[in-house]
Amino acid sequence: MSWTLGFVGCGVMAEVMIAGILDEGLLKPHQIMASNRRGERSAALSARYGVQTTHDNLEVVAKSDVLVLSVKPQALGAVLRQIQGKLPPSTMVLSIVAGAKITVLSQALGHERVARCMPNLPCRIREGMTVWAAPQDAKAGDISRIEQILGVMGGVIRVPDESHVDLATAVNGTGPAIIAQFVQAMMEAATYIGESRAVAKETVLATMVGTAKMLQASDTHVASLIDEVTSPGGTTSRALQVLKQGRFSAVITESIDAAFERTKALGAELERDLS
């Protein structure tokens, strides 16, 4: 590979990408550069992975064939203003900033080659899912590079409309925290009825993973699989009844909807900031 990859911002997801890319042999350390305001963070990345680090965003911009914007939404406006008009025409920009629309990014940068994506936390162990979008006229070479970058972290889905990336931010991006909250509640329930913490952790996680794999392997609707294990008057039917009384499904829907509304609000805030 003869191309270079740059990161403006060195947060958790940037490090996940860097680690996966190097482990998979997609690029060599000298082909990756990252900028960060905190010197200790830059030093840690350089020591851990051998990549180039700098405090200067413009240095990364000048040297990158693919540039990943991986800053917090609140910092994106200042970064875009700093690098506006400085991108080489051949550079492909990939944003992982929640809510930042392609059109807004493109206008703010004065640059047409822009894509956006939403990875999730399981990307850390290469079991993630990333949903991404690019303009319909995106070049084949740009698409290939992005697919390679995202593919080192797990599954990749390219969607034709970037509105689906906002949806994925609420479902795909927020989902791991909601599932982890559910797992924690299950563990607490298991210890409440008398299981040890060690047994509770092992059984709950094994049940979660096994159920997910079973659902992935089956063409049957989820509701049918629930029916299979629910006998009239049995333990599962009693448990599900309590969940219904507690508005379990409604609360999950409301939490995902809240995340979606916040995603849209972040996008609107950024658009106002740049107007």
Please write the tens of the pLDDT for every residue from 48-87: 999 999 999 999 999 999 999 999 988 999 999 999 999 9
pLDDT band at 43 (very low <50, low <70, confident <90, very high): confident
Q: CA–CA separation, 143 vs 123, rounded Å?
A: 20
Residue-wise pLDDT for 97-135, tens only, equals: 999 999 999 999 999 999 999 999 999 999 999 999 999
39 and 129 in a single domain? The answer is: yes
Q: 137: domain CATH number?
A: 3.40.50.720
Based on the fold, state whether residues 217 and 149 are members of the same structural domain: no
Could you read off the pLDDT of 195-250 as tens digits, one per residue?
A: 999 999 999 999 999 999 999 999 989 999 999 999 999 999 999 999 999 999 99
Residues 75 and 194 in one domain: no
Q: Are residues 113 and 139 in the same domain?
A: yes
Residue 75 counted as domain residue:
yes
Domain contains 268 = no
Contact 136, 109 (CB under 8 A): no
Report the percent of the chain where pLDDT is more than 90. Answer: 86
Helices and strands of the chain, counted as H and E runs: 12, 8
Quick check: 156 and 123 in contact, CB under 8 A? no
In a domain, 58, yes or no: yes
Range of the domain at 233: 175-262
Pair 123, 97: CB distance under 8 Å? no
Residues 58 and 127 in one domain: yes
Is position 205 within any domain?
yes
Q: Are residues 129 and 186 in the same domain?
A: no
Q: Is residue 37 domain-resident?
A: yes
Greatest CA separation for the chain: 68
Cα–Cα distance between 73 and 272 in angstroms, integer? 13
**In the block, which residue shows the tokens 């599900």?**
240
Average pLDDT over residues 143-170: 95
Q: What is the CATH number of the domain that holds 222?
A: 1.10.3730.10
185 assigned to some structural domain: yes
Residue whose structure tokens are 């010197």: 39
Average pLDDT, the chain: 93
Q: How far is it, in rounded angstroms, from Cα 184 to Cα 246?
A: 17
pLDDT band, residue 2 (cuts 50/70/90):
confident
Last residue of a domain, one of 126, 160, 194: 160
* 135 lies in the same domain as 210: no
Co-location of 118 and 228 in the same domain: no
Q: Are 181 and 120 part of one and the same domain?
A: no
Q: Which candidate, 8, 6, 96, places its Cα nearest to that of 51?
A: 6
**Distance between CA atoms of residues 70 and 32, nearest Å:** 14
- Residues 255, 215 share a domain: yes
Over range 36-44, report the average pLDDT. Answer: 82
Measured distance CA(237)–CA(227) in Å, rounded: 9
Which residue, 160, 187, 222, sits at the end of a domain?
160
Q: Residue 140: inside a domain, yes or no?
A: yes
Residue 41: the pLDDT is 84
Q: Is the pLDDT of residue 1 over 70?
A: no
Alpha helix segments (H runs only) across 102-247: 102-109, 140-151, 163-168, 175-192, 197-217, 222-229, 235-245
Phi, psi of 131 (to 5 degrees): -105, 130
Q: How many CB atoms lie within 10 A of CB 133?
A: 23
Residue 109 and residue 233 share a domain = no
C-alpha–C-alpha distance, residues 274 and 37, integer Å: 22
Judged against a pLDDT cut of 80, whether residue 259 lies above it is answered with: yes
Q: How many domains does the chain have?
A: 2
Instruction: Output DSSP code: residue 68.
Output: E
> Looking at the structure, do residues 41 and 126 belong to the same domain, yes or no?
yes
Kindly report the pTM of this predicted structure. 0.89
- Final residue in a domain of this structure, among 160, 195, 213: 160
233 in any annotated domain = yes
Q: State whether residue 5 is helix, strand or coil.
A: strand
